[in-house]
Structure 1
Amino acid sequence: MRPRTLILAALLAVLVGLLGFVLVRYLFQTYNPEDEWVPARPIPNTDVNPYGANFFLAREVELWKRERTVEMAQEAGLGWAKQQFAWAEIEPLQKNEFIDPVSGESSWTKLDQIVDLYRSHGMQVIARLDRAPGWARLPETRPETPPTDLQDYGDFVHAFVNHFKGRVQYIQIWNEPNIYPEWGEQAVDPVAYTEMLCIAYQRAKEANPDVHVLSAPLAITLGEPHPEPGKWRSMPDLDYLEAMYQAGAGECFDILSANAFGFDLPPEDPPDPDVLNFRRVELQRKIMERYGDDGKAVWFNEYGWNAAPSYFEDEALIWERVSEEKQAEYTLRGIELARLNWPWAGVFNIWYFRQTGQQYTPNDAAYYFRMVDVDFTPRRVYDAV
């Protein structure tokens, strides 16, 4: 080999070595061991801050209490506020009249303030739209009863989305229609709910094509028969979701909304059709996949464990109970489990942040889901989050 060729070969070897060194050094400097454990999240609406909570600001009279509530939520790192916007309070007296009958002011005024308060603290709103006004449903029926004309609800959804365009980008269509009394006194009806969902979806998209429509979360239940033969007073969530898909619901929502209560079981407890637990949502996910809907995210409408005191009788413990220490621990572990194993999971709205004192008393088991007491004392689950 000629001397010149030897020199060129040596230079080439040095160059290759330098490039290899630079590449190895770059990979070493940019390597993050956590990357191996965090799955890719290509499904839309999953690459989000998973921490949210349910709020009751529409029932809070004093402005300073609303402000302090949202401040504490921001301090805890919550990025989402699940807030009910009752149709009966927005359009209370007649169609297309958005007037508060008590104050005579626009019924949007207080809600504008609430939405702007959340947004000023960096929180996005998920709006739950339910509770039909008296003029829209049969006389002597509950507010949870669906309207006699589903187009009236669709028109309300259109008005809401149009009013909050650019400020509220996520809406939930009704709530827990598979159980009593969330569909009124009548038997629950997944086909009728699907019709409502599809009408609302179309009207929402007409008002704002960019709005995200969430299906109603289904209460996780093993069911309760209705007095009418062959019907359900409360229908098992898995059967109800199956019936929704059979009725064409897959074309009428962007995100599936689900509930995920842990009862007295740890978040790792495996899913079973006959067991109510946190991972039951995996069975709902299988239904989505079977109908080719696996490209959508699942968000959690109500999530958590109840920490009622030990003196509560068993029959009063609808959600079972755990200690406050376990409540805090399981809440974090559940979200961590989901982020590692469920690439389809999005926001977890903890049930609930703080109430106004009107919803539950210390004699109600539901009182003990709270993250913060009425007097703003934080509980263990707040500190953990």
Structure 2
Amino acid sequence: MTAPPAAPHSDLAALWPRLSLALFYALICAGLALLTLGIGLTGQQMQRGIWRAGDPLPPASAAPSPLGTTVDLLQYEEDAALDAALDSAEAMGLHWLRQELRWDLVEATAGQPRWAAYDRVIDAASARGFDLILYLNRTPAWARRSGEEENPLAPPADTAEFVDFVAAAADRYGPQVYGWQIWDEPNLMPHWGQRIIQIPDEYGAFLAATVPAIRAADPDAVVATAGLGSTSEREGYNMSEVTYLRWLYDSGADQWFDAVALKPFGFWNDVADREYSEEILGIDRVVLTRELMVQRGDGATPIWFVEGGWAILPEWQSEPPPWSYDAPPVQQRRLFETVNRATLEWPFVQVIGLQLLQPVLPR
């Protein structure tokens, strides 16, 4: 999921403008909607996961709005194309952009970092007033582990070399960045190597080594976990994000993050399903994560939705994506319901975004 395929995509250009304009009216109607959703569900199912006065709650977010999206701004090599993409994001009412900061692109040759491409896009987005979330990811060929020579998504052989990159990035971009993430989807193969996922002490140690470098360069930095991918598997090459986070707490890694980043794709389930099980894929898994955080005394830590939604595939002729797909009107309804539910029931969710802004698909 780090580099989503170009064709399976969330049609943000069609959905977000309507979302921003209609959200107020949708919230007015939400009470009736909740009554409708309750048909066939038990009272316990309907009430589970809903925040109530007196429950732990994170402090107010510094971001002006929870709405945003992941982007790939490096693809816009011409200034006009970059400006058009940022215009599109502004028109949709988005306030934050999440951009991958690739170590393998910045430092393709050891000791010779080249920041110009990122300087250009980060400066452009920052000048527009977007809050930026950078996720630092991908190992250059010279720093890869033995057996992972062809896999940039695996962590490096020597964490200290990555720490140097992290420190340089935080020193360079700190004032322009709202939030940082270290790596992406370490609970899914091949994002922590092409091997069986173990108890995530390694990722906890990775955070312990890198986060102090960010905070030293940027004392006001907000650091979230890597975006944890959704999976129902709990052993082998992929590990449920709920189980993975539980083990991160067990290892004491919670001292190194200020937010928990999730990727709540809807898959084949509706927002109204309210099925709470690690065996079932869908946005209800957020409730399982939140319950775990509260159990561990970490209810004041916010959750970020850094990717999610439902794919729309106009004229797509190949295999469907793993996140499911459907007709645009169906996906639009699901998107409205997701934001309604997060707004009404989950005030601990401070960042809400979809998978990828892709106004014009490369062919």
Shorter-chain TM-score bucket reads 0.7 to 0.9
State the secondary structure of the residue aligned to 2:162.
helix
1:110 aligns with 2:117: yes
Number of the residue aligned with 2:142: 135
List aligned pairs for 1:88-107, cutoff 5 A.
88-95=104-111, 97-98=112-113, 107=114
1:74 aligns with 2:90: yes
Query: Which residue, 72, 79, 98 being the options, matches 1:56?
Result: 72
**Measured at CA, do residues 81 and 45 of structure 1 come closer, stay the same or move farther in structure 2, by a change above 3 Å?**
farther
Number of the residue aligned with 2:255: 251
Letter in 1 for 2:289: Q
List aligned pairs for 1:145-184, cutoff 5 A.
145-184=154-193
> How many angstroms does 1:88 deviate by?
0.9
- Tell whether the 8 Å contact from 1:58 to 1:111 is kept in structure 2 after alignment: yes
> How many angstroms does 1:272 deviate by?
2.2
Q: Distance in 1 between matches of 2:344 and 2:183?
A: 30
Number of the residue aligned with 1:319: 323
**Measured at CA, do residues 45 and 147 of structure 1 come closer, stay the same or move farther in structure 2, by a change above 3 Å?**
farther
Letter in 2 for 1:161: A
Whose relative contact order is higher, 1 or 2, with alpha carbons under 8 Å and at least 6 apart? Answer: 2
Letter in 2 for 1:251: Q
Letter in 1 for 2:109: L
State the secondary structure of the residue aligned to 1:84.
strand
> How many angstroms does 1:259 deviate by?
0.8
Deviations 1:210-248 (A, max 9, x none): 0111101211101275xxxxxx21112221111111111
Q: Distance in 1 between matches of 2:284 and 2:315?
A: 25
Could you list the runs of 5+ residues in structure 1 that have no partner in the other structure?
1-32, 99-106, 226-231, 355-371, 376-385
**Measured at CA, do residues 88 and 317 of structure 1 come closer, stay the same or move farther in structure 2, by a change above 3 Å?**
closer
- Tell whether the 8 Å contact from 1:260 to 1:277 is kept in structure 2 after alignment: yes
Q: Distance in 2 between matches of 1:39 and 1:326?
A: 30
- Tell whether the 8 Å contact from 2:269 to 2:282 is kept in structure 1 after alignment: yes
> How many angstroms does 1:302 deviate by?
0.6
Letter in 1 for 2:171: N
Number of the residue aligned with 2:350: 346
Q: Which has more radius of gyration?
A: 1
Number of the residue aligned with 2:237: 233
Query: Which residue, 301, 312, 329 being the options, matches 1:307?
Result: 312
TM-score, length-normalised on structure 2? 0.79
Letter in 1 for 2:212: Q
> How many angstroms does 1:310 deviate by?
9.2
Identical counterparts, % of pairs: 28
Q: Distance in 1 between matches of 2:277 and 2:354?
A: 23
Q: Distance in 2 between matches of 1:264 and 1:180?
A: 22
- Tell whether the 8 Å contact from 2:145 to 2:155 is kept in structure 1 after alignment: no
Number of the residue aligned with 2:102: 86
Q: Distance in 1 between matches of 2:256 and 2:348?
A: 18
Q: How many residues align?
A: 310
Runs (4+) off by over 4 Å: 37-42, 309-313
- Tell whether the 8 Å contact from 1:71 to 1:121 is kept in structure 2 after alignment: no
1:283 aligns with 2:288: yes
Query: Which residue, 43, 51, 71 being the options, matches 2:58?
Result: 43
Q: Distance in 2 between matches of 1:266 and 1:55?
A: 25
Q: Distance in 2 between matches of 1:161 and 1:297?
A: 22
Number of the residue aligned with 1:266: 270
**Measured at CA, do residues 147 and 123 of structure 1 come closer, stay the same or move farther in structure 2, by a change above 3 Å?**
same
1:200 aligns with 2:184: no
- Tell whether the 8 Å contact from 2:233 to 2:279 is kept in structure 1 after alignment: no
Deviations 1:15-39 (A, max 9, x none): xxxxxxxxxxxxxxxxxx98xx998
